[in-house]
Every structure is written in C-alpha cells, then in structure tokens.
Chains A and B, each alone.
Chain A
Amino acid sequence: MKLMKFATVSALAMMVAGGAMAKSDITLALQLEPPHLDPTSAAAGAIDSVLYSNVFEGLTRFASDGSIIPGLAQSWEVSEDGLTYTFKLAEGVTFHDGTTMDAEDVKFSLDRARAEDSANAQKVLFASIADVEAVDATTVKITLSAPNGSLLFNLAWGDAVIVAPESIENITQMPVGTGAFKFTNWVQGDNIVLERNPDYWGTPAKLDKVTFKFIADPTAGFAAVMAEDVDVFSGYPAPENVPQFEADPRFQVIVGNTEGETILAMNNKLAPFDDVRVREAVSHAIDRQAIIDGAMFGLGTPIGTHFAPHNPDYVDLTADSAYDPEKAKALLAEAGFADGFTTTLKLPPPSYARRGGEIIAAQLRDVGIQTEISNLEWAQWLEEVFKGKDFGLTIVSHTEPMDIGIYARPDYYFQYDDADFQAMNAELEAEADPAKRTAILDKMQRKIAGDYVNGYLFQLAVPTIAKAGVVGLWENAPTQANDMTGVYWAE
C-alpha cells in the first residue's frame, strides 16, 4: 500500500513537472510515418503532414480555410495576357544551413520539379510552366505556355516547395528548408523532432520543439491519447471513440473539413457500368447518411458531385442522386437488369472503405446488385484497381485539393471519357478570372453528377483530438498538413 502511495505521488510529481515543461513543446501523433523527408519526390501525404509550412515553404501557401496567401513570395504581378507572373521574394531569407534563399533557388526548385527525369508525384502541376527566370536576387519571372488560372494555387502545394541545390543531395534524410522550424532528428519508426528556427525571416514560431510521433494502430493511438503520452492526435483513426473524448474535459475534439471526396467509383468502360442508367441506379441505391452514420460514426458531409462542400464554388447536387431504391430498381429493369447482376467491390484499407463497403454492399443487394467484396492492401489496390482497372466498384477518398480535373483524363482508373467535359476542363485551366471560373466549375460539377460517373458519398472529415490547452491548430485541412507555426499552449 505504501508502495502504491509512493508510486501515485511520484506519478503526480512527474505529471506536474511534465505539465510545466509542456508549455513550450508539444507531442503530436500521426498514424502514418513519412517514408522519407523529400516532399518533392513522393505523394506520401505523411511527408507534408510533418514538414509542410513547418520546415519547407513555397512561393505561396495554403491558409487553414483553404485560401492562398503569400509564402516566400511577398507579392506578385500577372501580365495582361496571363502568361507572365513576376514574384517578389521576401528579403533576408536563409535556409536552415545558413545559405541564402534567392531567386536562383526558386528557379532550381521549379526546374527540378518539372524536369524530364523528375520524380515529382504532382508533376502535372507544373505542366504549364514554359520558363523560370531569376531576374535579380529577389525577383522571379515565370512564363507560361498557356494561361493557367490555377498557378498560384498549384505553387502552394507541398510538392512545389523551395529547396536548395546545396542540400538537395541528402534531402530525404536531412531536409533543409526555410521554415519557422528546422528538422532536428528522426528515430525511424518512432518520431521526428523539429525545433524552432531562431533565424526565421517571418513571424517566429511560439513553440520551441515539436515532436511528431507515429502510432499506426488505432487501439494503441487511443491508449496514447488517454494516457496523455501525446498532446495532439491529428487525423485520429477511430471515429467511434470521438464521443468519449468529447465527454472528457481533458480533451478538445476538432472536426474540420478535408479535401477528401469519398466516392464509390465505377468502372465506366466495364459493362454494365458503361450504361448511364446502371450508374444512375447505383447512385440512387446508396443511402449516404446511413454510410456516414455507420462507417464514420456521423462524421462527414454528404456530397453530390466531386467537389468539396466548404469551397465557395461548390454546388449541392445531392438531391439529383437522392436515396430511392424503387427508382434504382426501375432503372435497372429499363437497362435490362431486372434480375440484377453481380460485380466486384474492391476495398482499400481505410475504415471508410472497409466499413462503408459492407454497408454499400447491403444497400446494393436491396436493389438486386450482388457484390463480391475483396479487401486489398494499398499496393494491391494501386496495382489492380488504379493501374490495372480490374474492378467493377471501389471506394476511395480523393484527398488532393481541387482535383475535379481527373475527370478529364480518359485513362484515369474510373475511365470517364467525355469530350465535353474535357473541353470544359481546358477552358477552366486557361481562365484566371474568378467569376468565370466559378461558372465553369458549376458546369463541370453538374456534368459529372448528371452523367453519374461515380457514386458520390461524402466529404471525409478527420477528427483531431487535442489536450484542452492547445491553441492554434488548423481546423480544416486544405492540404495534408499540421502547420505548427501558430500553435501554443493557453494559460
């Protein structure tokens, strides 16, 4: 008993000491560990979720609400014809290794990203760039081959950050950026530590130290939060536990928007999904709210097209594909499938797909569509579904921001090939005027919803669990990032 008391007292003492120390440092848990630390040569969102805005910065950057704000470029001018962008860089910016960041580094970074042998996962972002010129130390001129209304947006991506030729060799293990935090240490498999950059050119970070800890298993994640081993769990993987955290005064739960349009993708070139009536039937067979409640425990916003609901240009088309099993059956009969048919439903690992898949299979069964479910690992999914196009149905969340353009790629995995839509996309890419862009985006959203290309389910919402005193975390996730530059402890 004495021993118990002693242990309790010392545990309390440790907690108090820990609490006092925690004022200037924070431990943030993530489910996925970055494979390496070069955001410009992998699609792994895990890399951005550690480094974006903290260690690396681009010419422009995303704010929490998804708007584009100046980054390393303090201002810019666009020529009349929309072909030339002149960026004015911030003065006195240095990389973490002490070297200066100037226009030459910008040229180097962008040229590297768009080079022939570039391994940049979003190389398409730079496709319209014809030339990058370093006019003087703080002026960069980007010339486009055709007007591109999304350039400033594209340059805000983690894949477009500015890196230095001096440190590019070891970037995968020793990232050197210009951000408010510098990379300190990586214990592979366990954690990455960032420390405040005392020489930061902009508003300095409030925290001295940020530790990113990687906890893949949802049960282990729950234990780590409950035991207060971690201060924040960003992208908490088990929505079923969220009510428990909400009820606990030690924690705050932040549920923000993401860019993840979660869809029931259909293979548009595979019979019977090449028949629009069948696709429409599938869309009417789905009860979105039941999927959100059942698979996501209520987290998520229903969508009726491939567009993020929090975006001002979003058009709510959910009513066009409202839950109506009778209509679905009638459409199937009209298409010649009165007795239904059998197809495959291939599911990647995330719980939205695995749990959602079971519910969708049951809903489809009600209208006569039998599904053979197979659970795939990501690598298998990429091989079979994404590359091999060997699937009838699949569920996946498209997490890239503003990615309606994928419908203009006929060889994309769901194989939607429509000349009208492709023309609209070309028109959008060339348009810089916001009002006209809104009008085009409106048309595009209606077009894919009207063609019932895919079953549009919901916008993924990812909860973040944080200790009550943590202030300044991003509420929404316009890109996969944990911008820690404005985070601090209250009190």
Chain B
Amino acid sequence: MLRFVLKRLLSLVISLAVASVVIFLFVEVVPGDPAAYMLGMNAQEDTLAALREQLGLNGTLVERYLSWIGGMLRGDFGTSYTYRTPVAEMIGERIWISLPLAVYALTLSTLIAFPAGIWAASKRGSLADVLVMGFTQLGVAIPNFWFAMLMVLLFAINLRWFSAGGFAGWDAGFLPAMKSLTLPAVALALPQASILARVMRSSLLDTLGEDYIRTARAKGLSRRQALWRHALRNALIPVLTIIGLQFSFLLAGAIIIENVFFLPGLGRMVFQSIAARDLIVVESVVMLLVFAVILVNFLVDVAYAVVDPRLRVKA
C-alpha cells in the first residue's frame, strides 16, 4: 500500500512539473506586452523600459520561469503586474466567491438530480420517467448563460426580487451574500442537475438488473425496498465520479456565468488578466486549479485502492 501511495505521489509531482512548464510556455508565447497595455498609446520607449524594469519583465524566459516556480514553492505567487498586489491575496479574496458558488450550485444540482433520477428509475417507462427524461434533455441542451439571462429578465428586471448581478459581499451578512449567488448558482446547477439525473437513472437501472437484486427480490423484498437498500448504494459510484468532475468544472468554469452576473470570482479574474496580459496572475491561478484537479485525482486514486484491493496489484 505504501509503495502504491509513493508511486502515485511521484506521478503527481511529475504531472505538476510538466503542467507548470506547459502553462508557463503557453502563457508567455502569447503576443502582448503588459507594460504596453498599461501605458497605452502615448507612452514613450524609455517609459516602457522603466515600467518593464519595475515589473521584472526584463529577464530571460528561463530566469522568469525559475523565479516564478521558486516563488510558488515558497508559497509566494508573485505580484500582479496590473493590480500591483500579491496574487495570493487576490486569489484569497476571489475564492470566497467562486468556492461558495461552486458548492451552492453543486448542492442544488444534487438536490434536484437525486430525487429526479431515482424517481425516473423506479418508474421506468411511466409518464414520470418520460417527463424527467424530457426535462433533463432540455436542461442539457439549454446553454446556461442564456438561461441566466432569462432569469435576470424575469427575476431582476420584471419582478425585482433579485439584483441583476454583482456580489453583496460576505460583510453584508450571510443571507444577502447567498442571495446574490442564488441566480448564478441556479443557472450553473441546471445543466449539471440534468446530466446528474440522467446518470443517476441509468446507473440505478443497471444495478437493478444485477443478480444480487434478483436475489434480494427472491428473499421477499419489494422492488422499492430492493432499490433503496441495495441498488442505490451501488449505483452511487459513477454518480460520485461525475459529481467530482463537476466540482472542478464549476470552480474553474464559471467564467461566462460570472460575466453575466458580474461576479468578481476566479474565472472573471483570469479572463481580465488574460486581456491585460497580467501573465503572472494567469499562470498562478491556472497552476492552482491544475494542482487542485491533480490532487483530487490523487486522493480518488488512493481511495479507490483502499476500497478495492485489486487496483493496488494492477498499479
């Protein structure tokens, strides 16, 4: 077991190292000079040079890579070129919007998907099943930003129940803050819930066809009892895998929704930083997200191995 963990750990470190080089190169080869972006069209060459010097943009590619990666290892994410504040601070501020939003959306999608999926599977072929399948088909097909705009039109402009966007801030209290995250969370949750409900349904139907369910039924359990006691737990494995994937997607992938609702989250920060060629911010945030995804995968791998001893041998 220890050997397995060490092996996975080594592969984690290698993945991170490769990722850092790829991210750095991709970001650095993009044309565009952050100093020129900041100083605009009237700047003179010597002013540009002075600013580049101040920002530490004058070193070679290798020097800049080493100083970036060296800083990261010490927990120093560098200083944003445009905002002139430590990147770690900026991430620290914005993650308190992105993370709660992701958790909120995931909670909503799970709360919708589980009952819907289970209901559809337990009444396979009935009207309920057709309805759930129909609605989830629609949910997968509707782009979430369009759905978000419709919600803004209805709830913010016509009914005035919510503001059209922005973030009240946690200082304003828990409820106002959650309220400003509600429409974005619903918009994010809709397609996720639809996918999850469909996975839940088909996974349940698969397990319901297994031999052990037949045995359970033969012992005298009703179909419903067999579903709740035996099938559900076994059906959860693929569902949990999907939830894990969705979480990392929600954390990094809410860029469009954050723009629609002008929420100052991580996604929008990356978006703005790319436009301003604030490369250090882009690199550090992307690296952090890669780290999060690789770490989650590592933990999942280890967890699988704990649950299923066969995987240890294979590894």
Contacts and interface: CB of A to CB of B under 8 A. Distances in A.
B262 interface: yes
Nearest to A38: B84
Contacts, number: 167
Nearest to A14: B160
B156 A227 contact: yes
Contacts of A404: none
A118 interface: yes
Interface of A: 7-8, 11, 15, 33, 35-36, 41-44, 116-124, 172-173, 187-191, 213-217, 219-220, 223-224, 226-229, 377-380, 382-384, 386-387, 396, 398, 400, 403, 406
A120 B40 CA distance: 11
A118 B53 CA distance: 11
A217 B149 contact: no
Given A223-B149, A223-B164, 19 more contacts: A35-B82, A42-B39, A118-B50, A187-B264, A188-B94, A190-B263, A213-B262, A215-B166, A217-B259, A217-B260, A223-B152, A224-B166, A226-B157, A379-B36, A379-B37, A382-B37, A383-B32, A396-B41, A403-B42
Contacts of B274: 377
Nearest to B271: A216
B42 A379 contact: no
Contacts of A117: 50, 53
A191 to B, nearest CB: 8
A219 B145 CA distance: 11
Given A42-B38, A190-B167, A220 B260 contact: yes
Given A35-B276, A220-B261, A229 B42 contact: no
A122 B264 contact: no
Interface in B153-212: 153, 156-157, 159-161, 163-167, 169
B254 to A, nearest CB: 13
A118 B165 contact: no
Given A43-B39, A119-B47, A213 B166 contact: yes
Contacts of A118: 47, 50
Contact of B31 (A116, A119, A191, A384): A384
Interface of B: 31-34, 36-44, 46-47, 50-51, 53-54, 82-85, 90, 93-94, 149, 152-153, 156-157, 159-161, 163-167, 169, 259-265, 268-269, 272, 274-277
Contact of A379 (B33, B53, B169): B33
Contacts of A219: 149, 260
B166 A190 contact: yes
Contact of B269 (A15, A189, A384, A386): A189
B259 A121 contact: no
A117 B55 CA distance: 13
B36 A386 contact: yes
Contact of B43 (A121, A227, A379): A121
A224 B50 contact: no
A145 B38 CA distance: 29
B84 A173 contact: yes
26 contacts: A8-B159, A33-B272, A35-B82, A43-B39, A43-B41, A44-B40, A116-B50, A119-B54, A120-B47, A123-B43, A187-B264, A188-B85, A190-B262, A217-B260, A223-B152, A223-B153, A223-B157, A226-B157, A378-B37, A379-B276, A379-B277, A382-B32, A382-B33, A382-B36, A382-B37, A386-B36
